[in-house]
Amino acid sequence: MTPSLNPMFRFQWEKAQDCFVLLFPEGMVKLNGGAGEIMQLIDGKQNVQKITDTLNNKFPDAGDLAPDVHEFINTAIEKKWLYHD
């Protein structure tokens, strides 16, 4: 599965909120640190395994991040923040 951002949303760093956010016409979703790390890697080209591998390499002391990555991506798809192929 290769996730991509729903074009109705814009992902960006929000200095005033001191976090990454998803902006949409009706408002904003503030993302926690882990969600922001995942979202930075979602480009419509990298599959979930590649995203997970990148995060596992970036945060080697965190253990296996695959369950967290899958949970976030599945939740984001349910909320229509992301699409997937």
Considering the entire predicted model, what is its pTM? Answer: 0.94
Q: Are the C-beta atoms of 67 and 24 separated by less than 8 Å? A: no
Q: Are the C-beta atoms of 51 and 42 separated by less than 8 Å? A: yes
- pLDDT at residue 45 in the model: 97
DSSP sequence for 14-66: ETTTTEEEEEETTEEEE--HHHHHHHHH-SSSS-HHHHHHHHHHH-GGG---H
Pairing of strands 27-30, 19-24: antiparallel
Q: Domain holding 45: CATH number?
A: 1.10.10.1150
* CA–CA separation, 54 and 62 (whole Å): 13
Domain holding 45, by residue range, is 3-84
List pLDDT tens digits, range 3-48.
999 999 999 999 999 999 999 999 999 999 999 999 999 999 999 9
* Counted domains in the chain: 1
